[in-house]
A and B are shown apart, each in its own frame.
Chain A
Amino acid sequence: MRILKAALFGVLLLILITGTSAFAIKFPTKPVTYMVCFNPGGESDITARIQERALEKHLGVDVVITYKIGAGGALCWSELVRSKPDGYTIAGDNLPHIILQPLMRKDAGYQTLDLKQIYIFESTPNVLVVHKDSQFKTLDDFIKYAKKHPGVVTVGGSGSNTANHLGTVLLEKAAGIKLTYIPFSGSGTAVPALLGKHVTALMTYSTMAVRYRDQFRPLAIASEKRMEVLPDVPTFKELGYDIVEGAYRGAAAPPGTPDEIIKILSNAFDRVMREPEVIQKMNENGFKIEYMGPEEATALVKKKMVEYKKLLEEMGLLKK
Chain B
Amino acid sequence: MSVRTRDRLGALLLLGFVGVLWVQRDYLTPFGGIFPDRVMIILAALLLLDLVLSFTPYASLKEEKSEEKRIKTYPVKMAVVTVSLFLWVGLIKYFGFALSSIVVFTGISWYLADKRRKIKTVVNSILVAVALTLLIVVVFEKILLVPLPKGELLSRHL
Residues of A within 8 A of B (CB): 31, 33, 62, 64, 66, 84, 104, 160, 317, 319
Contacts and interface: CB of A to CB of B under 8 A. Distances in A.
B155 interface: yes
B145 A64 contact: yes
B29 interface: yes
B28 interface: yes
9 contacts: A31-B145, A62-B145, A64-B145, A66-B147, A84-B155, A104-B28, A160-B29, A317-B29, A319-B28
Contacts of B31: 160
A33 B141 CA distance: 12
A201 to B, nearest CB: 20
Nearest to A63: B145
A3 to B, nearest CB: 47
Contacts of A160: 29, 31
A316 to B, nearest CB: 9
A84 B152 CA distance: 10
**Nearest 4 pairs between A and B by C-beta?**
A64-B145, A66-B147, A84-B155, A317-B28
Interface string B12-41: 000000000000000011010000000000
A104 B32 CA distance: 14
Contacts of B147: 33, 64, 66
A311 B102 CA distance: 53
Contacts of A33: 147
Nearest to B145: A64
Nearest to B146: A66
A317 B32 CA distance: 13
Nearest to A317: B28
Interface string B125-158: 0000000000000000000010100000001000
Contacts of A31: 145
Contacts of A84: 155
A39 to B, nearest CB: 18
Contacts of B155: 84
Contacts of A62: 145
Q: Which of B28, B29, B31, B147 has the most CB of A within 10 A?
A: B28
A28 B49 CA distance: 62
Contacts of A64: 145, 147
B33 to A, nearest CB: 14
Interface string B56-82: 000000000000000000000000000
Contacts of B145: 31, 62, 64
A64 B142 CA distance: 11
A104 B31 CA distance: 15
A303 B28 CA distance: 25
B29 to A, nearest CB: 7
A299 to B, nearest CB: 30
Given A66-B147, A84-B155, A319-B28, 10 more contacts: A31-B145, A33-B147, A62-B145, A64-B145, A64-B147, A104-B28, A160-B29, A160-B31, A317-B28, A317-B29
B25 to A, nearest CB: 14
A84 B29 CA distance: 36
Contacts of B28: 104, 317, 319
Nearest to B147: A66
A64 B140 CA distance: 13
